[in-house]
A and B are shown apart, each in its own frame.
Chain A
Amino acid sequence: MNPVIYLDNNATTMVAPEVVEAMLPYLTCYYGNPSSMHSFGGRVARAIKQARGQVASLLGAEESEIVFTSCGTEGNNTAIRAAIAAQPERRHLITTQVEHACVLNLFKQLEKQGYRVTYLSVDRRGQLDLMELEAAMTGDTALVSTMYANNETGTIFPVEQVGAIAQAFGAIFHVDAVQVAGKLPLDMQNSPVDLLTVSGHKLHAPKGVGALYVRRGFRFRPLLLGGHQERGRRAGTENVASIIGFGKAAELAQVYLADVAEERELRDRLERGLLAIPDTVVNGDPQNRLPNTSNIGFKYIEGEAILLSLDHYGICASSGSACTSGSLEPSHVLRAMGLPYSILHGSIRFSLSRYTTPGEVDRLLAVMPEIVDRLRALSPFSNDQADWLQAQDSRQLATINNN
C-alpha cells in the first residue's frame, strides 16, 4: 500500500505527536477525578486548568469563558439553545443556508417548535450579503448564528460586520469557528461574538473534545444538567486526557499561526497545478478564504469516481457529490452557491495541514491530470452546450428553487 497522502484536514486531522505525549500520563498514571478532594484528583484539576488557559489564549479569551464540550456538534447545539433561552420572548432566528448539518438540522427542529428562521443566501463565491442580513433583522430577532468559515469552500464570512449588525438589534451572536481555530488568529476580547464553537480534532487534538467560548456576563443555560463540572455549564466527568491534549494542540496551533503563510503558498501551488487541467474552476471566495482549503470543480466527471481513483494512489480528499454523501443530493453548500451541475458533482475539496509537504502536493499534481483524462474519456458530457446536459440542468434547478 502507498503511504497515505492526507489532504482531508477539514474533515479531521492527525493527532500531533506532542499532543499524544501530553495526554499519555492522564491515560496511565494520573487517572484521578478532577472533582475529587484528594491531591491525586487535584493534580488532574490543575492540568485541566492549564489546558483551559491554552485554549483561552488561542481564542483571545479569558479562562473563565471556556467551556469544554465533547465536539463541535455539542458546542453548536448548546450555544444555539442557550441563546434562545436567554431571550425567550424573541421568536426570530437567523442563520445561513451553508451551515453544518448540526446547525441546520437544529434550526429545522426549532422551526417546527414555532420559531421563525431566516436562512441567508450566499452568492456564487459562497459569500453573504450584509444588506440581506440587515433587511432580515427585527427587534424580534433573538439570535444570529453563522459560521466563521465554510468547511467545504473555505469562504470566510465578515464576522465583525455581521456581529455589529446583530448587536445593533440586540440579538445574540453565535459563531461556528470549528474550521477557523488554528488557521486564523482569533481575538474574542475585541470581537462582537457572544458564543463561539471550536473543535479539538480539527487542530491536531483527538476526536471527542471541543470547547465553547461564552462571553463573560452571558446568561448561560447548560444543555447537560448534573454535577458542577465546568462551573455548572456542562455537567459530566471531564474527558481529561483529551482536554489536556486539546490544550497542548491549542498551544501548538498558536505558535504555528505565525507560519500559516507557508501553508497558504503550498495551497496556492496545489491550486495553480490543478487549474492547469482544462475545464476546472475554484469554488469559493478567492479573496477571503481559509489558507488551507481548495475546492476545485472538475467539470463533466463525478466526485466519487475521482475520490476512488485518488484513493488508488493513497491520496485522501473529499467531495460534495451526491454519491459520496449517501443522501443522493449533492452538497447543500455548493447548491446554495448556484453552481451548475456540470461543476457540482465533480467538486473535490483538498484541505492541507501544517504537516502537508511540497512532495505530497507534487504527487497529487502528478497523478491528477491522468485521473481526470481517464474519467472524462468515459463521460458522455464534454461541454455545457450539450442539449442533454443543459435541459436537465435547468429543469432540476427549477425544482430545487421551488423546494
Chain B
Amino acid sequence: MWEYTEKVLELFHNPKNQGVIPPDEAPGVAVVFGEVGSIACGDALRLHLKIAVAEDLILDARFQTFGCTSAIASSSALTEMVKGLTLDQALQINNHDIAEYLGGLPEAKMHCSVMGQEALEAAIYKYRGINSPVHSEDDGPLICTCFGVSEAKLRRVVVENQLTTVEQVTSYVKAGGGCSSCAAQIEDIINSVQTSRVAVEVAAASTRPLTTVQKIGLIQAVLQEVRPVLQADGGDVELYDLEGDVVKVNLKGACGSCASSTDTLKQTIESRLRAKVLPSLVVEALL
C-alpha cells in the first residue's frame, strides 16, 4: 500500500477541474489540449486549457486522466496551479512544484508529477504551434524502449531533480522499469550530468577572478546542463562567442523561431549563468 498524503487522497476522492473544455467561439479566446502517456504505460493525461489570446493568460484548466491515485491527484493539482498564470509563468512549473503542492509523493510515484509537467508543456507548445516535444524523432535515440524514453528526456529529469541513482530515474520517468536492459546507459547519463555539475561547483568555490578560458569552460558546462531541457522541446543552444561579460549564444530549432519563448529562454539561461558562473554575465541571443 502506498503512503499518500491527505492532499493526494482529497484530490483523488474529490478531484477539482475534471473533464473537457468545450470549444469556445468567443473572440480573443482559444481552447487547446495537450496529451501525454498511453494506456499501455498505465497512465495518460489530457490537459485542456482555455487561453486569453491577447493577455497570453490561462483562464481555465481541466483534465482527463487514466491512471492511479497519484496520477489523478497530480493532474487535478496541476489544473489548480496553472489557472490565472500567463503561459510563460506556467512553463516555469516543474514536476517538483506539483509534488510539493500535493505535500509530497512517494518516490516511486514521482513519474505522475512528471507527466503533469509534460502535459502542460504539450498543451502550451501545441497552442504556440511548436512541434510536440514528446517522442519526436530529433530527440535522438530511445534509451528505454519499454517506456519510450529518450536520452534528452532522461538528461532533463536527472538535471532538474538532481537524481543520483537509476532507481530514482525509474521512479521519475519509468525508464529502466521494464526489461531494465538500459540501466547501464542511465547510469552513464547520471555520471555525465554529475561530472558537469561538479565542475561548476568547484569553480564557484574558487575566490580568484575568473580568466576568460575559465569563464568559457564554466559557461559551456552550464549550457550542457541546459541543452537537454531545450532539446527535449525541439530546440538547442550553442555558445558563439564571449566578449568581456557578454555571452553570445545561438538559439536554435523550434524555440528560436518563437519570439516570446526566446525571451524567456534568454532570461532562464542568463539567470542560471549568473548564479553559477559570474553575476555580471549578460546573455545576447544572435538571430
Q: Is the CB of A328 within 8 A of B147?
A: yes
* Chain B CB within 8 A of A308 CB: yes
List, in ascending order, chain B residues with CB within 8 A of A377's CB: 18-19
A312 to B145, CA, bound (A): 37
B246 on the A face (CB < 8 A): no
**B40-71 contact mask (Cβ, 8 Å, vs A): 1 or 0:** 11111110000000000000000011111101
B195 contacts A by Cβ under 8 Å: no
A302 touches B66 (CB 8 A): yes
How far is it, in angstroms, between the C-alpha of A375 and the C-alpha of B263 when the chains are bound?
A: 41
Contact: B35 with A323, CB < 8 Å?
no
The residue on B at minimum CB distance from A393 is: B40
Bound state CA distance, A395 and B13, in angstroms?
Answer: 32
- The reply to whether A378 and B41 contact each other, CB–CB distance below 8 Å, is no
**Chain A facing B: main interface SS:** helix
Task: Report the nearest A residue to B170, measured CB to CB.
Answer: A328
A380 touching B35 by the CB < 8 A rule?
yes
Q: How far is the CA of A180 from the CA of B72 in the complex (A)?
A: 38
Interface membership of B12, Cβ < 8 A:
yes
How many A-B pairs have beta carbons closer than 8 Å: the answer is 98
Decide if B40 touches A392 in the complex (CB within 8 Å). yes
Interface residues of A in 322-344 (CB under 8 A from B): 322-324, 326-330, 341-342
| Closest CB in chain A relative to B165 CB, distance in Å | 16
Contact residues on B (Cβ < 8 Å of other chain), bracket? 20 to 34
B156 at interface, CB cutoff 8 A? no
- Report how far A397 CA is from B69 CA in the complex, Å: 25
Q: Nearest chain-A residue to B106 (Cβ)?
A: A326
Assess A379 versus B65: contact at CB under 8 Å? Given A305-B72, A328-B178. yes
Q: Is the CB of B38 within 8 A of A328?
A: no
B42/A301 in contact, CB under 8 A:
no
CB of A300 within 8 Å of the partner chain: yes
Using A302-B68, A329-B178, A342-B39 as known contacts, say yes or no to A381 and B13 having CB atoms under 8 A apart: no
**B104 at interface, CB cutoff 8 A:** no
Bitwise interface map of A from 378 to 402 toward B, beta carbon under 8 Å scored 1, else 0? 1111000000110011011101000
Chain A residues within an 8 Å CB radius of B35: 380, 388
Q: Are B39 and A392 in contact (CB under 8 A)?
A: yes
Is A345 at the interface (CB under 8 A from chain B)?
yes
| B66–A300 touching, CB < 8 Å | yes
Residue of B nearest to A340 (CB): B39
Q: How far is the CB of B265 from chain A (nearest CB, A)?
A: 30
* A379 and B108 in contact, given A341-B40, A342-B39, A345-B42 (Cβ under 8 angstroms): no
| A-B contacts, 7 listed (Cβ < 8 Å) | A300-B66, A345-B66, A381-B44, A389-B38, A389-B39, A392-B38, A393-B39
Question: Interface of A with B (CB < 8 Å)?
Answer: 300-305, 308-309, 312, 321-324, 326-330, 341-342, 345, 377-381, 388-389, 392-393, 395-397, 399, 403
Going nearest first, the 5 A-B pairs with the smallest beta carbon separation are: A392-B38, A396-B40, A328-B177, A323-B68, A380-B64
List 11 extra interface pairs beyond A327-B177, A403-B179, CB under 8 A: A308-B12, A323-B42, A323-B69, A328-B178, A345-B39, A377-B18, A378-B64, A378-B72, A380-B45, A392-B40, A393-B40
